[in-house]
Structure 1
């Protein structure tokens, strides 16, 4: 039976010194059929361990649920790590940051007034206990002492940057131990005295998170931990991007030199990230340090393996550095080939404002998105006014598209601290509200989304609203159900409809309804759903160009690729090859703004944006 322990100066594997050479690879950011490829490339780079966070909110989107299907199949992932001959580090949180929506904390936690997260609060601890028992039930049988790959389990995550509740930290550690975890536990904090003091636990190995000034960082870590192995649990080799900012990269030579310094000091390392992957769907987080900045869909991170898993110059540089301290396999992974290039027309547009799918409810006052359990929702009311009136909101979280009598009036954006705009007259008011990603770091974690503090018209509260949460999961199947939703096809030209679709709501006086002429649509104006079919000879990774589109979401064969936005920096969406099938495939786009060119273009490679603005 294999034993792993924390020694006086080294990690000990069956009593012998063992240096952890790890790379971060988040199973929930990579298609399951690509896990083995990424893990093998980690091995070929000279790594002996794979690290992953565990996202509570993805596994438990609703209270009482725990999903381990598809991209959330943690057991399959850990077994694939073991099959490659590597070890694993598991970081279950409950908070993970990770530029992930809400830092991994489920939004439903915050619906209970007064519930205190990341501290010793009974209701929060009860939820944490339930989560850890579920997820560690998978991890416990896969520890090294049971023949599995798991060497270490982390307690919380960079807690010293958030709080100093030692009772809470100890309770989390006890829950982990109580769930059958016997391997060593660790904490991680930035190597700052106050953070290491507040985020560490006596008897639990402290590790650091940093990407530069290695000697100084290790010295600080050692002051707080006179004995035990030194480890950088997050060796930052790149960075993430925000919408509207530049694409971040780091110098290959400088990153390799810092890695060399770390290994020369005898420390263990977890490279963050080995392979970043993608924030598919609505999983990307945000930061708010006075200005709200949502994170982009790509989590390329300028990592050694790019978003599609191809080795980069940084991969080869890191491999050479590692070879100075450990045996590296002779085989070198091949460089990636260009992706297939093809185009297809987007057709069958369905305007959301015409008659959105979903259930309307009457509301007294403006409900939050959390109260509707929605990430996108449409609100409507009637405004009685002869002339121009001021529409104002307490706070916008995060983006509100305002329409009057079906025509766009303006956008209120949280990043710009927008709170008001002028309506030219009264009429039928519609507001589409979008959650662009929950804050994942700092004190604004868990805040409600939507139009906060009410909506006023010339200072008087607007209280009579109808609300319709938009089920984004239903968008790809919209064209299969349109006949059951009267009015959805009313403004769609016959030529763009799927074959055999009847025309509903047409003004005819008898005869074949298919000969009726519907009203003309408003071309390209969102929110509008679009659909295209495209052909694939053999499944392979693709890159969807979004340069000519506005802002929205895209699905391939029902899978949500994530958000796009013309402001960049990201201008492509990554399409994993395993999502595609030989022959005909379907792309669906929900455009919230204006689509300049309703054409699909797949391009040869990623376009993640300029390095400077």
Structure 2
């Protein structure tokens, strides 16, 4: 089991620290996570309906619960463990109102030996749709605490009042500003809630990171992908350091509970390594064969049809004749870079509702390549049925363009790339590699000033996405990713890199400008 996925070890740590656990296993979790936590392979069946009583979906959920929860029985509080209660689904009232679906999930949990209390959580306006009779209902909100709790009490006349998610910050999306919430104002809201005698969980208490390709997206008629950082303006930031909000909240909590008489810990030491040169490169298009095996078909295949979770798909076809053409792609999920004989032609973005591009084909049998990036599956609302790649018709001058190869590029391993020293300008997407020395590992932040868009890896660990569009302008690098001595960095730049091809590791993050 991968260390970062070792749930029993996490529960052991919680127990050792005297903490209780409210376990929220989903199957849907939202959390601005890719697909809301639902695995992409569910979408390989074109008519499967998520978060419903579709037998195929429920069969997968039951199997998931059995595999996850059966081994966790010793951690239930009824057997001396830290788990006090377990959640049924997540904010289901914002999605549907099928009580029988929720009842199936509750029964499935019980069949797995869960004998601790169950609970649901919903935003106050959705309680009547998402609650389950006989199960504790809780509410999610970040302001107007007295009003929200009154709504919860009106729905549930007896029992404890609990805010399962008390929102004290927010997440960011590409192309917007970095969201922050005034510490004093957030503390005032916390004070109002605690004064009612209700209980709460802070969301988020500790900021996090959507490492690799795990960020989700929202789609309320316009697709909006979430950034790599999930700092959330939390009391403990992305690196785990206390913020101004931590101190403000501690002072409020001291009015209602005993707070240890200990000083707030100082921020942990950070590492700085300036101007690391990336001296070796490998083109993506030229080396695609080493990254994934192509599949031939009449139409472009989706990621789900290719049994692919994350990353990119490279679509290739041969064009029938020279001359001016109009290429129309019915659905781009989510960002398509178009190439003709390896040369960039343009970009089509789902976020901007772009579907067509015109160019001139120089010769018969020119190769059209379309590199499509999955920028994160939608994690909220009906848009969670979010299949990736090229969907629907592909037309060339109004006629179907058939005969494609679809090559999955999950980028789970970059070991086969033939890196070579180069000082020339790279045309098209390319991987750039460099090394740097570390005397003592510590947290740091990778800054890619002058780079445009892509992904970064340290010692094979996928840090996440960067994009000059902002707001995020640095990537968090946890100390365990680094090692004493020589370390490797690889950057996939999809467009144009800094002329010197250098990156910086700094002691402070840059999450972008905030709204004035």
TM-score range, shorter chain: over 0.9
CA contact under 8 A between 1:139 and 1:150: conserved in structure 2? no
1:463 corresponds to which of 402, 408, 419: 402
Q: Which residue of 2 aligns with 1:563?
A: 465
Please list the CA deviations of residues 489-509 of structure 1 after superposition, one character each: whole Å capped at 9, or x if unmatched: 7xx5xx45xxxxxxxxxxxxx
- The reply to whether residue 365 of structure 1 matches residue 299 of structure 2 is yes
Inter-partner Cα distance in structure 2 for 1:318 and 1:309: 16
5+ residue gaps, structure 1, are 1-67, 483-488, 497-520
Q: Could you tell me how far 1:340 is from its partner in structure 2?
A: 2.1
Inter-partner Cα distance in structure 1 for 2:59 and 2:341: 48
Q: Which residue of 2 aligns with 1:120?
A: 53
Q: Could you tell me how far 1:155 is from its partner in structure 2?
A: 0.4
Q: Could you tell me how far 1:444 is from its partner in structure 2?
A: 1.1
The residue matched to 2:48 in structure 1 has which SS? coil
CA contact under 8 A between 2:271 and 2:441: conserved in structure 1? no
CA contact under 8 A between 1:338 and 1:605: conserved in structure 2? no
Please list the CA deviations of residues 189-216 of structure 1 after superposition, one character each: whole Å capped at 9, or x if unmatched: 0011xx1111001111110000000111
The residue matched to 1:232 in structure 2 has which SS? strand
Q: Which aligned runs of 4 or more in structure 1 are off by greater than 3 angstroms? A: none
Q: Could you tell me how far 1:522 is from its partner in structure 2?
A: 5.9
Inter-partner Cα distance in structure 1 for 2:170 and 2:31: 11
Larger Rg: 1
CA contact under 8 A between 1:107 and 1:446: conserved in structure 2? no
Aligned positions of 1:205-604 closer than 5 A:
205-337=136-268, 339-342=270-273, 343-356=275-288, 357=290, 358-374=292-308, 375-426=311-362, 427-475=366-414, 477-479=415-417, 482=418, 492=420, 495-496=421-422, 523-597=425-499, 598-604=501-507
Q: Could you tell me how far 1:113 is from its partner in structure 2?
A: 3.5
Q: Which deviates further from its counterpart, 105-114 or 438-447?
A: 105-114
2:30 corresponds to which of 80, 92, 97: 97
CA contact under 8 A between 2:124 and 2:148: conserved in structure 1? yes
5+ residue gaps, structure 2, are none
The residue matched to 1:402 in structure 2 has which SS? strand
Q: Which residue of 2 aligns with 1:502?
A: none
Please list the CA deviations of residues 146-186 of structure 1 after superposition, one character each: whole Å capped at 9, or x if unmatched: 12111111000001000011111011011111111111111
The residue matched to 2:60 in structure 1 has which SS? helix
The residue matched to 1:424 in structure 2 has which SS? strand
Cα 1:257/1:243, change in 2 over 3 Å = same
CA contact under 8 A between 1:246 and 1:612: conserved in structure 2? yes
CA contact under 8 A between 2:207 and 2:239: conserved in structure 1? no
The residue matched to 2:12 in structure 1 has which SS? helix
CA contact under 8 A between 1:259 and 1:321: conserved in structure 2? yes
Inter-partner Cα distance in structure 1 for 2:482 and 2:257: 39
Inter-partner Cα distance in structure 2 for 1:478 and 1:311: 41
The residue matched to 1:86 in structure 2 has which SS? coil
Greater RCO structure (CA 8 Å; 6+ sep): 2
CA contact under 8 A between 2:269 and 2:442: conserved in structure 1? no
Inter-partner Cα distance in structure 2 for 1:523 and 1:296: 28
The residue matched to 1:555 in structure 2 has which SS? strand
RMSD between aligned residues: 1.5
Please list the CA deviations of residues 473-528 of structure 1 after superposition, one character each: whole Å capped at 9, or x if unmatched: 112x234xx3xxxxxx7xx5xx45xxxxxxxxxxxxxxxxxxxxxxxx86143310
Please list the CA deviations of residues 12-36 of structure 1 after superposition, one character each: whole Å capped at 9, or x if unmatched: xxxxxxxxxxxxxxxxxxxxxxxxx
Q: Which deviates further from its counterpart, 523-532 or 219-228?
A: 523-532
Please list the CA deviations of residues 41-88 of structure 1 after superposition, one character each: whole Å capped at 9, or x if unmatched: xxxxxxxxxxxxxxxxxxxxxxxxxxx422110000011011111111
Please list the CA deviations of residues 72-130 of structure 1 after superposition, one character each: whole Å capped at 9, or x if unmatched: 10000011011111111100111100000000111111212432221222211111110
CA contact under 8 A between 2:328 and 2:394: conserved in structure 1? yes
Q: Which deviates further from its counterpart, 288-297 or 594-603?
A: 594-603
Q: Could you tell me how far 1:589 is from its partner in structure 2?
A: 1.1
TM-score normalized by the length of structure 1: 0.81
CA contact under 8 A between 1:278 and 1:300: conserved in structure 2? yes
The residue matched to 2:261 in structure 1 has which SS? coil
The residue matched to 2:305 in structure 1 has which SS? helix
Q: Which deviates further from its counterpart, 257-266 or 339-348?
A: 339-348
CA contact under 8 A between 1:390 and 1:422: conserved in structure 2? yes
CA contact under 8 A between 1:525 and 1:595: conserved in structure 2? no
CA contact under 8 A between 1:160 and 1:196: conserved in structure 2? yes
Inter-partner Cα distance in structure 1 for 2:46 and 2:393: 19
Q: Could you tell me how far 1:338 is from its partner in structure 2?
A: 5.9
Cα 1:260/1:294, change in 2 over 3 Å = same
Q: Which residue of 1 aligns with 2:511?
A: 608
